[in-house]
Amino acid sequence: MDKKMRRSLFIFTPVFLVVSLLVGCAVKPVTTKSTVTTNKDLIPVEQYDYDKKLRQCVAESDYLAKKDKTKYGQVNTALIQILSGVKAYSSQLSQIDEKNKEIITSMYVYQVNDLCNSISQFYLAEVKKDLNRIVDKTKSN
């Protein structure tokens, strides 16, 4: 494992836990069972894996930054900065008023989700380009 990867794991592992905690804190208990719709089936919200989603986002961002640093370096840097902000915020949670905590947590969750959605779209576009190149190359041979 290279130095950069170890640094990423050092920063992001605690952040995964914090974001999961923050998302859990931001969601108010509901007496009825809510669901998130997926292509295959319905998944209860309680089973939605935010840690997995965040790990996927970081992996996609790292892939994009390695593939084209000029094009995707800023996106990767933005993700690192937001997650570092989450980490700093989480260290101060006990000192923040509950009402403010709810507002700030919601803002961080929104920022992380918004950026991760953009990263996923960029990632899918790059994968599609790669697949099209392979298909085009195969057709020309």
Could you tell me where the beta strands, DSSP code E, fall in the chain?
Answer: 35-37, 42-44
In the predicted model, what is the mean pLDDT of residues 75-89? 93
In the predicted model, what is the mean pLDDT of residues 101-127? 94
Helix (H, G, I), strand (E, B) or coil at 34: coil
Give per-residue pLDDT as tens, 30-73.
Answer: 444 444 444 455 555 455 577 889 999 999 999 999 999 999 99
- Tell me how far the alpha carbon of residue 106 is from its chain's centroid: 15
- Report DSSP state, residue 94: G
